[in-house]
Amino acid sequence: MRLKAIFTNSFGILISRITGLIRDIFMAGALGASIYSDIFFVAFKLPNLFRRIFAEGAFTQSFMPSFVASRQKGVFAVAIFLRFLLFLILGSLLVTLFPEIITKLIAIGWDADTIAKAAPLTAINFWYLDLIFIVTFLATILQYKEHFATTAFSTVLLNISMIGALWMFLHDDPKTVALALSISVLIGGMLQVLVHIWALGRTKMATLLIGGWKYRKTRDTTHETKKFKKIFLPAIWGNSTPQINAFLDTALASFLVAGSISYLFYANRIFQLPLAIFAIATATALFPAISKAIKNNKIQDMQTNLAKAFWFLAFLLGISTVGGVVFGEAIIKVIFERGKFTDLHTVETTRVLMMYMIGLLPFGLAKLFSLVLYATHRQAKAAKIATYSLIANLIASLILMWPLGAAGLALAGSIGGWVLFAGTIKEIGYRDFLAILRHRYSIYWLALMVALIPIFKLVNNYLMAWLQ
C-alpha cells in the first residue's frame, strides 16, 4: 500500500478542507441559512455535481486504465481532451443562454421570482465545470506519474479566492455577496488550471502531450478512443451515485422549509471531510497501482493492497462515524454558529449530520472496492449497482422527507450508500471480501468501536457544558 502517496493526498485534502471550512464559516456569517445562501448553493450545485463526477469518478476511473493500456499515450490523451472540452464549452454556452430552465431543474419547488434571482448565478458558476475538467485531465496525467500533491492542494486556491470575495463583501447585501462568490469560483478555477500546467512542466509530462498534439493526425488511436467511449458512459452513472443523491436532496429539499438546502450543505461539508481525507485520498493513491497490477496480471499484489487499504479505512472511518454522531452538535456549534447562523440552525444541521454519518463507512469502502470494477472495465456492472442504490435512495427520500425533513433526506442517502456497498462487494466476490474479514483486526475493530462510544459521550458532555 502506497502510504506516502496516501498521506500526501490526505494532507493536501485536509488543508483544502480546512480552508473550505474557513470559507463556510465566513459564508455562514454573511448569509446564514437563508434564501440567498440557498440560491448560491443551488447555482453552484450543478457544476459541483459534475466536478465530483469528473474529478473523483467517471473520467479518471475510465481514462486511467485506458491511458495505461494505450500504445500512443500522447495522441490518445489529446484526442480525448479535445472531444471533452468542446462538448463542455457547448454545454456551458447552452446554460448561459437558458439559465432559468437549468435552475428550475435543480430547484423545482421554487417560485418564478426565486428562480429569476438564481438564474444569473447558475450561468456564471457553470463555467467552472470547463475549468475543472482541464484540471481533472491534467491531474490524471500527473497521477500516472504518481504525482498527487498538486491536485491534493489545488482546491486551496479555490477556497482562498472565495474567502477573499467574502472578506471584501462581508458587509454588503446578500445579493451582492452571492454574486461575488460566483465570480470568485471562476477565478479559483483559473488558478487551479495554472498550477497544474506548472506541475505538468515540472514532471516533464508536458512533452508527452505536446507530442500527442503534434502527431494527432498521423497516429491512429481510433480503437482506443472507441473503447474509452464505450466504458465512459456507464462509468458516469456507476460512479456518481453520491453526487446524484446530493442533487436529488437539493431538489426535494426545495419543497421543505426555507434553510433545508443549507442544512444539507453545511452538514455534508462535515461529512465529506473524513470521506475525502481517508477514502478518496486512499482510492486516488491506489488506483494507478491497481490499474498497472491488473494490466501486468499481478493479481496477488492487487489483493494485498486492497486488504491493507480496507483495514486502514475501516478503522479511520469507523472512528470518524462514532465521533461525528457523538460530537455532531459541538462540531456544528464551534464551526458555524455565529452571525446569522443561529442555535436553531445548529440543532437542525446536527440532525442532518447524524444521518449522513451512518453512510460514511459504506460510501468510503464502496469507493475503495469499486476501483477493481473500473480497473477491469466492468463499468456496466458498476452502473447497475449504482442504479439499485439510486432507486433505494429515492424511495427512502420520498418516505422519510416529510416526517424527518432534511434529516430524512440525509438518512435516505446513507441507505443508498449501504446498498451501493453491498452490491459492489457482491460483484467483486463475497469470498474475497470474507477472506479480508477473517482477520484478528475484525475483533480489534469491534472492540474499539464499542469502547469509543462511552468515552466520546463523556468527553462530549464536558465539551457541551463548556460551550453553553
For 414-430, how does the pLDDT look when each residue is reduced to its tens digit (9 = 90+)?
999 999 999 999 998 88
Dihedral sign of CA atoms 139, 368, 364, 127 in order: positive
**Which of 178, 151, 138, 144 shows the shortest CA–CA distance to 162?**
178
Q: Residue 136 pLDDT > 70, yes or no?
A: yes
Place of cell 497490477: 293
Q: Is 154 helix (H, G, I), strand (E, B) or coil?
A: helix
Query: pTM for this structure?
Result: 0.75
| In contact, 375 and 287? CB cutoff 8 Å | yes
Greater confidence (36 vs 275) lies with 275
Q: Residue 352 pLDDT > 90, yes or no?
A: yes
CA triple 407-272-184, angle to 5 deg = 105
**Which of 213, 274, 262 shows the shortest CA–CA distance to 75?**
213
Per-residue pLDDT tens digits for 72-88:
888 888 888 888 889 88
**Which of 271, 134, 124 shows the shortest CA–CA distance to 191?**
134
What is the percent of the chain with per-residue pLDDT over 90, rounded to a whole number? Answer: 22
| In contact, 394 and 312? CB cutoff 8 Å | no
Per-residue pLDDT tens digits for 174-218:
788 888 888 999 999 999 999 999 998 888 788 888 887 877 776
Q: Residue 356 pLDDT > 60, yes or no?
A: yes
| In contact, 17 and 273? CB cutoff 8 Å | yes
**Which of 346, 354, 365 shows the shortest CA–CA distance to 263?**
346
| pLDDT in the model for residue 186 | 92
Under the banding of pLDDT at 50, 70 and 90, the label for residue 240 is low
Query: What mean pLDDT is predicted for residues 323-341?
Result: 85
Task: For residue 421, give the amino acid letter.
Answer: F
| The three cell numbers locating residue 186 | 471562476
| In contact, 256 and 401? CB cutoff 8 Å | yes
| pLDDT in the model for residue 220 | 67
| pLDDT in the model for residue 51 | 67
| The three cell numbers locating residue 267 | 452538514
**Which of 116, 94, 97 shows the shortest CA–CA distance to 42?**
116
| The three cell numbers locating residue 9 | 493526498
Query: What mean pLDDT is predicted for residues 296-310?
Result: 83
| The three cell numbers locating residue 104 | 428550475
Q: Residue 34 pLDDT > 70, yes or no?
A: no
DSSP labels, 279-306: IIHHHHHHHHHHHHHHHTT-HHHHHHHH
Under the banding of pLDDT at 50, 70 and 90, the label for residue 50 is low
Greater confidence (172 vs 123) lies with 123
| pLDDT in the model for residue 93 | 92
Residues 6 or more apart whose CB falls under 8 angstroms from that of 151 comprise 12, 135, 139, 142, 143, 196
Q: Name the most confidently modeled range: 21-35, 219-233, 284-298, 360-374.
A: 360-374
Under the banding of pLDDT at 50, 70 and 90, the label for residue 466 is confident
